[in-house]
A and B are shown apart, each in its own frame.
Chain A
Amino acid sequence: QSALTQPASVSGSPGQSITISCTGTSSDVGGYNYVSWSQQHPGKAPKLMIYDVSIRPSGVSNRFSGSKSGNTASLTISGLQAEDEADYYCSSYTTSSTVVFGGGTKLTVL
């Protein structure tokens, strides 16, 4: 199975909004509403930010939102803050009953 495709990096200024894309196929992202997004700060374990395309776990800021169109899922962060600077990974369930991650996107807050 191939990794989902994410941009290597995105950047934005404090207060702005950014969107990270995650492109797969009809066998993963496009076939199921089981896309999740995790945030990882350097040297730390990943933290779940969004699951099932658009659901935020308890305690996650409502500045984080998720969506999906066809084979591409997206994570939007509004009102960017310095603490949002991190790596972001998408993942999806697949038709093979497996999980596949994206390659990761480094978010820089300018």
Chain B
Amino acid sequence: QVQLQESGPGLVKPSETLSLTCTVSGFSISSAYYWGWIRQPPGKGLEWIGSIHHSGSTYFTPSLKSRVTISVDTSKNQFSLKLSSVTAADTAVYYCARMFPIRHFDYWGQGTLVTVSS
């Protein structure tokens, strides 16, 4: 049973860096799949942020590319998201998910709300 769990601070100050980790259980992160981050502002739709393969190959949505870093730690079966210079517009529920290479997301974490506020 593939399970994903997001963790990290629920409150981040403007201009600082948002950092989240996704722990994967029941499946090796060192597989052919990609691992992705998606966010959803309150009351709005889904936005793909980016995805990573255990080899280090990454893809990002153009609008966030300059502020996003995604990394993988195969020893811990985890992958992480860093989003720099956050503003209130980055307030959202952040989901991690398993991704069939650059196509669809088949397993999702429960999501974690990150609020950007001073």
Chain A residues with a Cβ under 8 A of chain B: 1, 3, 34, 36, 38, 45-48, 51-52, 57, 89, 91, 93, 96-104
Contacts and interface: CB of A to CB of B under 8 A. Distances in A.
B15 interface: no
Interface stretch (B22-30, B66-74, B81-89, B100-108): B100-108
Nearest to A48: B106
Contacts, number: 65
Interface of B: 36, 38, 45-48, 51, 59-63, 95, 100, 102-106, 108-111
Contact of B59 (A36, A98, A101, A102): A98
B46 A101 contact: yes
Contacts of A36: 103-105
A24 to B, nearest CB: 14
A56 B100 CA distance: 14
